[in-house]
Homo-oligomer: A and B are copies of this chain.
Amino acid sequence: MKIGVFGTGVVGQTIAEKLDSLGHEVMLGTRDVKASMARVDKDGFGRPPVKDWLAAHPKVKLATFAKAASHGLMLVNATSGAGAMDALKMAGEPDLAGKTMLDISNPLDFSKGFPPSLSVCNTDSLGEQLQRAHPKLKVVKGLNTLTANLMVAPRTLPDTHHIFLCGNDAGAKSEVQGLLASFGWKNEEMIDLGDITNARGTEQVLPLWVRLFGTLKSGMFNFKVVRAEQGA
- A228: chain B residues at CB < 8 Å are 156-158, 218, 220-221
Closest-by-CB residue of B relative to A124 is B117
**When the two chains form their complex, are residues B220 and A232 in contact, meaning their CB atoms are under 8 A apart?**
yes
**When the two chains form their complex, are residues A202 and B208 in contact, meaning their CB atoms are under 8 A apart?**
yes
In the bound complex, what is the Cα–Cα distance between A216 and B162 (angstroms)? 13
**When the two chains form their complex, are residues A121 and B204 in contact, meaning their CB atoms are under 8 A apart?**
yes
Within 8 Å of chain B (Cβ to Cβ): is A210?
Answer: yes
Q: How large is the interface on A (under 10, 10 to 19, 20 to 34, 35 or more residues)?
A: 35 or more
- A232: chain B residues at CB < 8 Å are 156-158, 220
Q: What is the count of identical protomers in the complex?
A: 2
**When the two chains form their complex, are residues B194 and A201 in contact, meaning their CB atoms are under 8 A apart?**
no
Within 8 Å of chain B (Cβ to Cβ): is A222?
Answer: yes
Within 8 Å of chain B (Cβ to Cβ): is A225?
Answer: yes
Within 8 Å of chain B (Cβ to Cβ): is A191?
Answer: yes
- A121: chain B residues at CB < 8 Å are 121-122, 204
Instruction: Say yes or no: A221-B212 contact (C-beta < 8 A), given A117-B122, A121-B204.
Output: no
Question: Can you list 12 residue pairs at the A/B interface with Cβ under 8 Å?
Answer: A117-B122, A121-B121, A157-B232, A193-B215, A202-B208, A204-B205, A204-B207, A204-B208, A216-B225, A221-B227, A222-B225, A224-B226
List 7 tightest A-B contacts by C-beta distance, closest first.
Answer: A220-B228, A201-B208, A224-B224, A201-B211, A201-B207, A204-B204, A221-B227
